[in-house]
């Protein structure tokens, strides 16, 4: 049976001990040598086996002569160290292993009879290409750094896997070309180092069995279950906030690559938005792929070659010479960005977990050929640890984001958190015990509701006014461009389109409605803009370009008024919200209560107070009265603050203030589908009905709204409440927050709601 490699190979393997026999012959020929007698005796014993020199061709020749081979290799395998060293004789990357030390034999015996020893993550293609690199280094004198740590994963008798790093001593091996070998030119070498994964190219330059691998090697294993270099890297990943983190990581990569002027960067990838961005955790790493540190989509950042490599295939993207690459692909702005930074070779490695691209590691060098598709594979040893760390940090950031969302954008207020926490603890307890648990509904009974709002007066009219002004500007600009095109090109006539634009200008002189705005914008987009895009006259192109720039919703002048309107609403809402939110800290000290606030065209809020909200404290009606006074006071302060800032707004919009007093306690229930609280039951729904209809109500028998700028309106239905609020009003009048005039009137009957009354009093601005 012929000795074969485990994989297809450019080598024809010949296991020979010729060099070792030559050494023993030299000792036997020298009577003064201390090993003279043993050498002569050993040579006499191996004389009947010429294949030891000429080449062993059958594995039985090894098996049948094991004792003799053990004597031949005695200098390499001292008997005193057989239980210490993990060694054997073999041909690299093959299954030919013999003359094991006792320690290696014990390790393999413990693994079990069915265990087959194989190099971890080492496939046919890698073996072939690694063999070709051995030829280039040995025969052609190149210094390709193709090596990466190789490991055997061997289980112990207890089933625990240990990892052994493999070291080869190939001093007794020769690599020589056969008659089938092809010469390798410098051009071939340059092509090969940029195409590590192109197996067919390597086979073309190094056909199978075109080279002779003669001799033997000594294989030594080291227990590297926890390898020092990787441990150091892992430790640094845990210390992301250290001041020297970036320098330390670069030092580790410099050691891995044995390159002094190497730099390392990292860029996060947002898979949901398909864009690259700076990682917002730990000490900020350099990003060598982002222009000026801004966020960029993958399609905008990457060229087609790098996009396919990193995004589609999730492989390393390595360029050994940026200048040569750009000569072949001058449109690659991705590689050009590296070249402009002074980096002449680089590797970009995708960080992938569970088939999700989390980011990319960037290894860069200012020298050509230092980094390439071959030594990119050295990253395999560190990428798993980097991947796990990035996944953990991304999860931490996501948790922080969820915490912010929980605080800022949901209705799960701290005052009721305890009840949700109790239910969650019960669920976890039952799950850990292997039982099921049906979550109970979150209900708070017998709580007193409070509702208030500050509404932006005339916001709808202001919105329509802003839209009208913007459309007028855009329609006039479109008319002027059409006329300019006709003047320069007599073959063009847009009379129908111009007349329609003039008609639209006429419509824009009366109050605009939503459908009018939609029709005008649709006409501009579908008809007028198509004419503009067909223009090629260089005299017109600047004007056309300027027109389309003005259509930009974020910066164009055709949206100036709308942006002013939206900025006005945002300023008012943010200012009012900040005041009541900040004041809530003080209100919670009165008695813990549920609070939620909404931004619309103004600011609304709901309050619920009662013993069930905070059952750990005694609740008295005085707490409700104190909170009602707080509400009235803070709403007055909110309107006063707005009045002082109103004239500085882009649109000087005024506001109206309303409070709804409800005399009965109700129940509220957390609705899981909407993730918010709502009133519970049809009986309690009357409160919600009044809330939705009251702000547009009028004074009974008049057309005057109950709300009015500069005044606070307090709606009630119980006579006891009017006396209560008159007391609050007197207190705030003494504090110069309210005027002396107090109106009292009936509210018109609303659908399903009758008998409401109101107080209205001026706010002292």
What pLDDT, on a 0 to 100 scale, did the predictor assign at position 69?
92
What pLDDT, on a 0 to 100 scale, did the predictor assign at position 408?
46
Q: How far apart are the first and last CA of the chain?
A: 105
Nearest one of 40, 98, 46, 36 to 68, comparing CA atoms: 46
- Give residues with Cβ within 8 angstroms of 224, minimum separation 6: 149, 151, 163, 164, 165
What pLDDT, on a 0 to 100 scale, did the predictor assign at position 673?
64
| Helix pair 186-193, 124-139: axis angle to 10 deg | 140
In the chain the domains, ranked by start, together with CATH numbers, are 11-16+55-223 (no CATH), 228-399 (3.30.450.40), 460-556 (no CATH), 564-763 (3.30.70)
CA distances from 17 to 26, 28, 171, 425, 666 (A): 14, 17, 12, 72, 96
* Strand ranges (E), 457-611: 594-600, 602-609
- Give residues with Cβ within 8 angstroms of 73, minimum separation 6: 20, 89, 99
Residue with tokens 């075109």: 210
Mean pLDDT for each consecutive 10-residue tract of the chain (765 residues)? Answer: 64 89 93 91 92 85 90 92 93 79 93 85 86 92 82 79 83 92 93 92 94 92 64 55 63 72 87 78 74 80 89 93 94 92 94 89 93 89 80 72 51 72 71 77 88 92 90 92 88 88 86 79 89 88 91 91 93 94 93 90 92 89 96 96 92 94 86 68 71 88 93 92 94 95 92 88 92
Output phi, psi for 322, to 5 deg: -65, -35
Residues 287, 448: Cα–Cα separation, whole Å: 55
* Strand ranges (E), 178-284: 211-215, 217-223, 263-270, 275-277
| Helix pair 560-590, 621-645: axis angle to 10 deg | 150
Output phi, psi for 390, to 5 deg: -65, -40
Residues 417, 677: Cα–Cα separation, whole Å: 13
- Give residues with Cβ within 8 angstroms of 25, minimum separation 6: 39, 43
What pLDDT, on a 0 to 100 scale, did the predictor assign at position 2?
46
Residues 661, 19: Cα–Cα separation, whole Å: 104
Contact 385, 240 (CB under 8 A): no
Contact 346, 337 (CB under 8 A): no
Model confidence pTM above 0.75: no
- Number of H-type helices and E-type strands within the chain: 26, 23
Task: Kindly compute the dihedral angle of the four CA atoms of residues 713, 719, 721, 724, in this order, to the nearest 10 degrees.
Answer: 100
């Amino acid at each position: 049976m012929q000795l074969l490699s485990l994989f297809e190979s450019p080598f024809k393997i010949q296991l020979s001990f010729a060099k070792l026999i030559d050494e023993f012959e030299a000792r036997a020929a020298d009577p003064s040598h201390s090993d003279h007698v043993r050498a002569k005796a050993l040579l006499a014993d191996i004389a009947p086996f010429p294949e030891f020199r000429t080449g062993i061709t059958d594995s039985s020749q090894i098996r049948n002569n094991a004792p003799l081979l053990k004597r031949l290799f005695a200098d390499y395998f001292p008997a005193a160290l057989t239980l210490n060293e993990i060694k054997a004789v073999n041909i690299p990357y093959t299954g030919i292993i013999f003359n094991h030390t006792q320690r290696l034999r014990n390790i393999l015996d413990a693994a079990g009879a069915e265990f087959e020893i194989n190099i971890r993550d080492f496939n046919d293609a890698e073996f072939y290409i690694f063999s070709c690199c051995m030829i280039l280094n040995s025969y052609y004198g190149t210094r390709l750094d193709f090596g990466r740590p190789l490991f055997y994963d061997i289980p112990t008798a207890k089933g625990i896997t240990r990892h052994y790093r493999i070291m080869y001593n190939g001093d007794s091996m020769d690599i020589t070309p056969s008659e089938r070998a092809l010469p390798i030119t410098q051009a071939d070498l340059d092509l090969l180092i940029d195409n590590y994964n192109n197996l067919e190219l390597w086979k073309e330059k190094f056909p199978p069995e075109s080279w002779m691998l003669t001799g033997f090697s000594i294989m030594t294993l080291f227990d590297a279950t926890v390898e020092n270099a990787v441990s150091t890297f892992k430790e640094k990943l845990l210390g992301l906030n250290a001041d020297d983190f970036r320098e330390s990581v670069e030092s580790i990569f410099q050691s891995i690559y044995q390159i002094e002027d190497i730099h390392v960067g990292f860029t996060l990838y947002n898979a949901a938005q398909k864009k690259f961005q700076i990682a917002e955790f730990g000490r900020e790493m350099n990003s060598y792929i982002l222009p000026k540190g801004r966020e960029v989509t993958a399609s905008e950042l990457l060229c087609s070659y790098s996009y396919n490599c990193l995004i589609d295939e999730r492989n390393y993207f390595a360029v050994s010479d940026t200048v040569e690459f750009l000569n072949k692909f001058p449109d690659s702005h991705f590689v050009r960005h590296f070249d402009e930074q002074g980096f002449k070779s680089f590797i970009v490695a995708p960080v992938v977990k569970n088939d999700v691209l989390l980011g990319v590691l960037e290894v860069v060098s200012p020298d050509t050929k230092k980094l390439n598709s071959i030594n990119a594979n050295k990253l395999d040893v560190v990428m798993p640890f980097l991947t796990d760390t990035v996944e953990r940090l991304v999860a931490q950031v996501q948790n922080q984001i969820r915490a912010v969302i929980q605080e800022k954008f949901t209705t799960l207020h701290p005052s009721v958190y305890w009840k949700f926490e109790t239910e969650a603890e019960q669920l976890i307890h039952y799950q850990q015990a292997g039982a099921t648990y049906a979550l109970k509904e979150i209900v708070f009974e017998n709580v007193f509701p409070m509702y208030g709002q500050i509404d932006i007066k005339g916001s709808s009219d202001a919105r329509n006014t802003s839209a009208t002004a913007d459309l007028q500007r855009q329609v006039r600009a479109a008319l002027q461009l059409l006329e300019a095109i006709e003047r320069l090109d007599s073959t063009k006539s847009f009379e129908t389109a111009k007349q329609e634009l003039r008609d639209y200008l006429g419509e824009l002189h009366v109050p605009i409605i939503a459908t009018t705005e939609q029709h005008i914008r649709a006409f501009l987009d579908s008809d007028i803009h198509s004419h503009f895009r067909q223009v090629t006259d260089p005299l017109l192109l600047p004007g056309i370009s300027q027109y389309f720039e003005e259509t930009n919703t974020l910066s164009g002048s055709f949206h100036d008024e709308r942006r002013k309107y939206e900025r006005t609403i945002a300023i008012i809402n943010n200012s009012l919200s900040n005041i009541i939110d900040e004041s809530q800290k003080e209100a919670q000290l009165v008695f813990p209560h549920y609070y939620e606030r909404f931004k619309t065209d103004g600011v609304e809020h709901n309050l619920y107070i009662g013993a069930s909200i905070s059952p750990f404290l005694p609740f008295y009606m005085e707490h409700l009265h104190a909170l009602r006074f707080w509400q009235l006071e803070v709403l007055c302060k909110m309107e006063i603050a707005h009045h002082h800032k109103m004239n500085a707004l882009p649109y000087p919009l005024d506001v109206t203030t309303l409070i709804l007093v409800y005399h009965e306690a109700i129940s509220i229930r957390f609705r899981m589908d909407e993730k918010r609280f709502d009133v519970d039951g049809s009986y309690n729904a009357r409160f919600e009905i009044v809330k939705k209809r009251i702000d547009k109500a009028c004074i009974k028998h008049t057309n005057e709204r109950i709300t009015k700028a500069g005044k606070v309106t307090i709606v009630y239905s119980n006579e006891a409440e009017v006396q209560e609020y008159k007391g609050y009003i007197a207190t705030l009048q003494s504090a110069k927050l309210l005027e002396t005039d107090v109106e009292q009137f009936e509210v018109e009957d609303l659908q399903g709601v009758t008998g409401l009354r109101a107080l209205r009093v001026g706010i002292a601005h």
